[in-house]
Structure 1
Amino acid sequence: MARYRGPQTKIARKFGEPIFGPDKAFEHKNYPPGMHGNNRRRRKVSEYGTQLKEKQKVKYTYGVLEKQFRNLFKKAASHKGVTGTVLLQLLESRLDNVVFRLGIAPTRAAARQLVGHKHIVVNNKVVNIPSYSVRPGDVIGVREKSKSLEVVTDSLSSQRHNKYPWIEWDGEAKTGKFLNVPEREEIPENIKEQLIVELYSK
């Protein structure tokens, strides 16, 4: 399966929430896509269907492919702690997600592109792997010659980097510090991770 590059609003409408961020088109039509829209009678979704839908929502939200997601789940299951919470913590620790949370990029897709094009440094070393796992104490920043990129300057002006307690932002240096792995209650995504654990436990 290739990474999804189609209309994001269509996917957001499928899940009934703006999983890719603020979306005016979604606000205008926040019901499922299709010619019958909100009037179509929908069959009751099975337990498996509900669990699968939650997994798909998480994959789209974080931009992770099926094989990557399965490997992350196996890693989470082998860690101490609640598997579902550990899974979300591993997703939040991905470099592309941290770049997004810091406000360096407006979306996770844009963050993944910045990382892939070698605009991001971790502890002063260029890292171009979006799935790179950031550790507490790591300093993430914009490469010196990339600090004037329009996508970076526009995104940083949003001040989104001040929203999360597990990261610290230095506006002058344009660097952020990953202070600690976030607790479950600190992760703002509307995800029922227990459904995913139940799905993989079958």
Structure 2
Amino acid sequence: MARYTGPVCRLCRTEQKKLMLKGDRCKSDKCPINRKRPAPGKDPKARPGKRSDYGFQLREKQKLKRIYGMQEKQFSLFFDRALRTSGITGENLFILLERRLDNVVYRMRFATSRSQARQIVLHGHVTVNGRRVNVPSFLVKPNDVIEIKEPSKNMVVIKEALKEFGKSGVMPWLQLDPDTMKGTFMAIPRRSDITDLADIKEQMIVELYSK
């Protein structure tokens, strides 16, 4: 499975937005966005050029793709599935992305970033309805129970990540018992529920793929 192996902070600098790719580091003073670092490869004194409609659409797609840690081919497959599903394509895309198991593990505070959640899933530390699932793109359904495997509940990385639950809780479509490390995907989220990504303009992504 192809994945990006370069410096992830460079991606945030490119988009000039926090993509939350490195967990706690993104909240610290070390974050390049907090330090107002310019986009890579550009002279900070240079006057910005005028961006085309295509340029704006491409940037929205790249932001969303990088937030969920996906490569172009996989992201395109998710868009095609959203297009074939009845309803609004942009909202369908968000719903499919939120249903990914690696994203749900991240949202349940078992990991501090989606990349860390992907590793936890790949290494077989997660079960869905009592069955081990090691496929990050597995789509979770309403009422599915996601749990950390018993032998993995002593992992320091998961215990440290769960501290965020006491500060921020979980999204309204999720339910979590931090003591048993077991949670439930209660319902399909609505686009308006995904408040931390409210600034993503999914209609631009739809227009980009419609060309």
Q: Same fold (TM over 0.5)?
A: yes
Query: Any conservation in 1 of the 2:145–2:185 contact (CA below 8 Å)?
Result: yes
Query: Any conservation in 1 of the 2:147–2:183 contact (CA below 8 Å)?
Result: yes
For structure 2, which runs of at least 5 residues remain unmatched after alignment? none
* Structure 2 match to 1:89: 95
Quote the Cα distance in structure 2 between the aligned partners of 1:110 and 1:98.
12
Quote the Cα distance in structure 1 between the aligned partners of 2:13 and 2:99.
27
Aligned-residue sequence identity (percent) comes to 44
- Identify if the C-alpha distance between structure 1 residues 90 and 172 changes in structure 2 by more than 3 Å, giving closer, same or farther: same
Q: CA deviation at 1:30?
A: 4.2
- The alignment yields a C-alpha RMSD, in angstroms, of 1.6
- Identify if the C-alpha distance between structure 1 residues 133 and 112 changes in structure 2 by more than 3 Å, giving closer, same or farther: same
Query: Any conservation in 1 of the 2:170–2:176 contact (CA below 8 Å)?
Result: no
Q: 2:205 aligns with which of 185, 196, 200?
A: 196
* Structure 2 match to 1:164: 171
Which string of whole-angstrom CA distances, capped at 9 and with x for unpartnered residues, describes residues 33-85 of structure 1?
23623x22221111111111111111110011111111111110111111001
For structure 1, which runs of at least 5 residues remain unmatched after alignment? none
Q: Number of residue pairs matched?
A: 201
**What residue identity is the alignment partner of 1:201?**
S
Quote the Cα distance in structure 1 between the aligned partners of 2:133 and 2:168.
20
Quote the Cα distance in structure 1 between the aligned partners of 2:178 and 2:74.
33
Quote the Cα distance in structure 2 between the aligned partners of 1:111 and 1:74.
25
- Identify if the C-alpha distance between structure 1 residues 34 and 116 changes in structure 2 by more than 3 Å, giving closer, same or farther: same
TM-score by length of 1: 0.94
* Structure 1 match to 2:19: 19
TM-score by length of 2: 0.90
1:111-130 to 2 correspondences below 5 Å: 111-130=117-136
Task: Look up the SS of the partner of 2:164 in the other structure.
Answer: coil
